[in-house]
A and B are shown apart, each in its own frame.
Chain A
Amino acid sequence: MTVIGWIQIFLYCAIVIALVKPLGGYMTRVFNGERTFLSPLLRPVEAGIYWIGGVDEKREQHWLTYTVAMLLFHVGGFVIIYALMRLQALLPFNPAGQSAVAEDLSFNTAISFITNTNWQNYGGESTLSYLVQMLGLTHQNFLSAATGIALAVALIRGFSRSSMRTIGNFWIDATRCTLYVLLPICVVYTLFLVWQGIPQTLGAYVDATTLEGANQTIAVGPVASQIAIKMLGTNGGGFFNANAAHPFENPTALSNFVQMISIFALGAALTNVFGRMVGNQKQGWAILAVMGVLFIAGVAVAYWAEANGTTMLSSLGLTGGNMEGKEVRFGIAASSLFAVITTAASCGAVNAMHDSFTALGGMIPLINMQLGEIIIGGVGAGLYGMLLFVVLAIFVAGLMVGRTPEYVGKKIEAREVKMAMLAILVLPLMYLGWTAVAVVLPSAVASMANSGPHGFTEVLYAFTSATGNNGSAFGGLTGNTFFYNLTLASSMFVGRFFMIVPAMALAGSLAGKKSIPPSAGTLPTTGGLFVGLVVGVILIIGGLTFFPALALGPIVEHLAMNANTLF
């Protein structure tokens, strides 16, 4: 570890924190339906969409209607992506002449993008046409992100409203998020990325003759416009197979730094939206503090592990940390930091290959995802995931003192705790369950690229990433097989919707309750005690759930790595 490395990390945290208030304030105005400085330009477009879509701006929705609207939106998105992939050979914008994508891979990819996972069983530049990248994937990068944010705002309204039957209108939330938040930032961001060197062209792949006379085909495309929303919307699906390690997706140290900031920006700001909407910004800062504690701990371990390298490297006299799978322009510090950020948020973009990380360096991303990606988390998804843990922590605290627990003026009762537990328990069921199935099926074991405990970790990582809607991978695993295409798709689906529906039920039940003023017996939820309590509950629940699986994978591999036992 170096001083410069740590300066990069702290500079990063400082900038993310500085953005929380301004972005939070702006987003609060957007979701309260107020005017913003972009209204003169965008309001006519917005009103036009409601007019032809038949959306009544004055009508709000019951939580069930809100959820059904959201689900219908996803069904449509699925149909569009699936159809485009199957038909891409017949459609325009296909200079590389890509042929139709197979049924199971199309199915997996469509599920992957509507759930904001962006798991890549396909290699972008070798599989997809420009049209699919734009109309299929770029559009869903926007809409799955907008959906996540809309749902988080709906849950916040559940906390902030008193005795109401409705929690907002899904169509309005999704449209306003897309038009006022995501698009304007992406337009500026895309130009910045092109300036840094990311291609943005509809031209064909370039044939170059290298200095030594060999032929090199260089894949290009409309890359920058997709990378902007891929990062901002914590989607993570790359234009290219190597994702953000590819020099055309992430050409410079500056593009890397800004991409890392954009992964966290909206998710961190949503904690401030929460604080503002429930009437006390300190509530938002307390949640951000919980996230911050877990984040810094993860960065410290991952950076330390990668900078230390492995016994295999040191026995050959190689020093300078574990550079296998990493890019020179990023080095150890920015690669470790990126890995922790991308899995803390449910982004899943990678600027280094996690499969080649050291045992503990690769375990931190795994833990981040297994905790439910609540450290900032996916845009929206992180906040509602964290609020589920908060409900649980408040419940535990209530049990300890023997009072009905309450949070920001709402009594937390049996229904809320049941919904929170349902959402939290369904995740390990998917990733532990499918991992157990995969390691006893010979055909599934054959997909592992590495043997020994590392091979097990590859499988565990795949199902964890899919369930958490992350999309990063231990990329050695051959995921494009019938078994993995279907089981990973089922993990992504359950991980997304079995979390969303209980969260929305929670929103509906909270909105219907009366707000009660704090009394002498109320646990203050803005101080260090509360932060410590939530961190503790997260680590205990998470630890008990997945520690045994980690012991079989990264922990045993760490011991083997130190002894230089090879597989």
Chain B
Amino acid sequence: MLREIRPAIIVLLVLTLITGLAYPLAMTAIAGVIFPKQAAGSLIERDGKVVGSALIGQEFKGDGYFHGRPSATVAPDPNDSTKTVPAPYNAANSGGSNLGPTSKALSDRLKEDVDRLKAENPSQPVPIDLVTTSGSGLDPDISPEAAMFQVPRVAKARNVPEDRLRALIAEKTAGRLAGILGEPRVNVLALNLALDLAASK
């Protein structure tokens, strides 16, 4: 048995260096050359400033922007480091609400959001993704229905015809891959950037 001690130390160290340093560092170097944009986090710049990542959702509150899904992410409470406070779309601390199917807290939150959205647009049923939080709290997408639902509000705030917004949503809607994988979706940041671009023209 004693002769197993040398390999236990040396084989472990060599394999650790190969898989724990050589492999990730080599992959970082290669990926940085072949796919520099993705490797850095798919960042989007506007007027030379980073406004976010194409893959990471961000919070929109104003009436003139399309809103993403509610987010359950939190941040440490500045007054008491053992507690947390809500911080929607905190991209340095991902997470979901973890509320279960019989949770009163979830039921109360849903009721409040559904009532608010019904008041905003009574003509359509409330899309479920607009009131449920995502698993990551950073979901960049909403369903096409959820985008269409917000058209009256955005049109009023920006004073543009609703049809133009509907056309913009249709243009920014991504379908299923090969018609099979995933779900139809609209990237909220991309949609809002296009909205700003159209307004500046």
Contact = CB atoms under 8 A, between A and B. Distances in A.
Interface of A: 4, 7-8, 11, 45, 49, 52-55, 65, 68-69, 72-73, 75-77, 80, 123, 125-126, 134-136, 138-139, 141-143, 171, 174-175, 178, 182-183, 186-187, 190-191, 194-203, 205-212, 214, 216-220, 222, 224-226, 229, 240-242, 245-248, 251-254, 256-257, 310, 312-313, 316-331, 334, 350-353, 355-359, 362, 449-454, 457, 474-476, 557, 560-561, 565-567
Nearest to A72: B8
A344 B136 CA distance: 22
Interface of B: 1, 3-16, 18-21, 23-25, 27-28, 30-32, 34-35, 38-43, 49-62, 65, 69, 89-104, 106-107, 110-111, 114, 125-129, 131-143, 176-177, 180-183, 185, 189, 192-193, 196
Nearest to B50: A208
Nearest to A135: B20
7 contacts: A45-B18, A76-B9, A136-B20, A212-B62, A254-B182, A331-B183, A353-B96
Given A212-B62, A328-B134, A353-B135, A53 B126 contact: no
Contacts of B138: 242, 246-247
Contacts of B61: 212
B94 A246 contact: yes
Contacts of B101: 310, 312, 322, 356-359, 454, 557, 561
A566 B60 contact: no
A353 B104 CA distance: 18
A197 B55 contact: yes
B142 to A, nearest CB: 6
Nearest to B9: A76
B35 A242 contact: no
Given A323-B129, A325-B96, A53 B10 contact: yes
A468 B143 CA distance: 36
B48 to A, nearest CB: 11
A319 B62 contact: no
Contact of B91 (A200, A217, A316, A567): A217
Nearest to A205: B92
Given A208-B52, A210-B52, A454 B100 contact: yes
Contacts of B132: 323-326
Contact of B128 (A139, A175, A323, A327): A323
Contacts of B196: 211
A357 B107 CA distance: 14
A256 B181 CA distance: 9
A352 B129 CA distance: 14
Q: Which 9 pairs between the two chains have the least Cβ-Cβ distance?
A: A253-B182, A139-B20, A245-B135, A476-B98, A242-B94, A331-B183, A72-B8, A454-B100, A353-B96
Contacts of B131: 318
B181 A253 contact: yes
B106 to A, nearest CB: 7
Contacts of A560: 102
Given A142-B15, A194-B35, 18 more contacts: A123-B94, A174-B15, A186-B23, A191-B30, A199-B40, A199-B42, A208-B58, A210-B52, A212-B58, A212-B59, A225-B27, A254-B177, A312-B101, A312-B107, A324-B99, A329-B182, A358-B101, A567-B102
Given A197-B38, A198-B38, A253-B181, A318 B52 contact: no
A191 B34 contact: yes
Nearest to A359: B101
A218 B56 contact: yes
B5 to A, nearest CB: 7
Nearest to A11: B180
Contact of A201 (B1, B5, B39, B137): B39
Contacts of B57: 247
Most buried by A among B14, B16, B96, B127: B96
Most buried by A among B49, B50, B55, B131: B55
A476 B65 contact: no
A222 B28 CA distance: 7
B110 A313 contact: yes
B7 A476 contact: no
Contact of B181 (A8, A175, A322): A8
A313 B100 CA distance: 12
A200 to B, nearest CB: 4
Contacts of B15: 49, 139, 142-143, 174-175, 178
Nearest to A251: B55
Given A222-B27, A450-B99, A217 B92 contact: yes
B52 A216 contact: yes
Nearest to A198: B38
Given A219-B91, A324-B132, A139 B16 contact: yes
B3 to A, nearest CB: 7
A352 B42 CA distance: 22
B133 A211 contact: no
A209 B49 CA distance: 8
Contacts of A171: 7, 11
A254 B175 CA distance: 12
B192 to A, nearest CB: 6
Contacts of A241: 93-95
Contacts of B8: 69, 72-73, 75-76
Contact of A317 (B10, B56, B94, B126): B126
B53 A206 contact: yes
A187 B27 contact: yes
A324 B133 contact: yes
A211 B65 contact: yes
A450 B92 contact: no
Most buried by A among B15, B24, B92: B24
Given A254-B177, A450-B99, A138 B111 contact: no
B128 A313 contact: yes
A190 B180 CA distance: 24
Nearest to A454: B100
B146 to A, nearest CB: 8
Nearest to B4: A69
Contacts of A178: 15, 18-19
A219 B181 contact: no
B4 A68 contact: yes
A252 B140 CA distance: 11
A245 B134 contact: yes
A242 B95 contact: yes
A425 to B, nearest CB: 29
A326 B182 CA distance: 12
A313 B18 CA distance: 50
B133 A325 contact: yes
Given A197-B55, A320-B127, A225 B98 contact: no
B34 to A, nearest CB: 7
